[in-house]
Amino acid sequence: MYVDFNGLSARKAYHWLASTVTPRPVAWVSSLSAGGIANLAPFSFFQVVTHTPPTLMVCPLLNSDGSMKDTATNIAATGEFVVNLVPFALVSAMNQTSFGYDRATSEFDAAQVASLPCQKVKPPRVAGVPVSFECRLASITPYPADTPSCHVILGEVVAAHIDEAIVGPNGQVDPHQLDAVSRMGADWYGRTRSDTNFELTRPVGWAR
């Protein structure tokens, strides 16, 4: 099958990309509005950018009416956010926070998600997750510039909260204990807790 993306509808392009570039970790992003309302929303267009400085990327798509997602609006206004990794135990709550609540509603309250304070940023983090990254905004860029479909948000990680239960005796994160949720195509999700996980050492002579 050959797919020519020129002239392909946005919906079809999304389908092919989101269904094949998998699994994608889910960033459960908490932020605060300029008025102090806590927002919580999941995004799977999410990845590590670099470790120097430690930087994460989240790309919220625009709403169907062309407006910015509340998450992007909040981050642009306050310059702070938290990326929480989603454990399988909280997948239902994560799914509920994807609903399009109005800006006056906090998803923490609507989905009954417990929160904890952060140390270096004002937005709360999610209680009961394996990892929360406190981030300060490095840049927010509409893309593409002439007709944006998303905002590429880079955040510098200034602190992290890591559940010691996910760290094995060797000091490395155990993917089974992490049990983080990943996004695949359509309604499919995955987990880092899987019997099909495997280890693969780097080639001999590879510089670490």
Closest CA to 98 of 183, 192, 202: 183
Q: Report the pLDDT value the prediction gives residue 7, as an integer from 0 to 100.
A: 87
Q: Report the pLDDT value the prediction gives residue 206, as an integer from 0 to 100.
A: 73
Can you give the residue range of the structural domain that contains 163? 24-185
In-domain check, residue 100: yes
Give the tens place of pLDDT for each residue, 96-128: 999 999 999 999 999 999 999 999 999 999 999
Residue 81 to residue 85: CA distance in whole angstroms: 13
Total domains, the chain: 1
Q: What is the CATH number of the domain that holds 96?
A: 2.30.110.10
In-domain check, residue 208: no
In-domain check, residue 174: yes
In-domain check, residue 1: no
pTM across the whole model:
0.95
Give the tens place of pLDDT for each residue, 138-157: 999 999 999 999 999 999 99
In-domain check, residue 123: yes
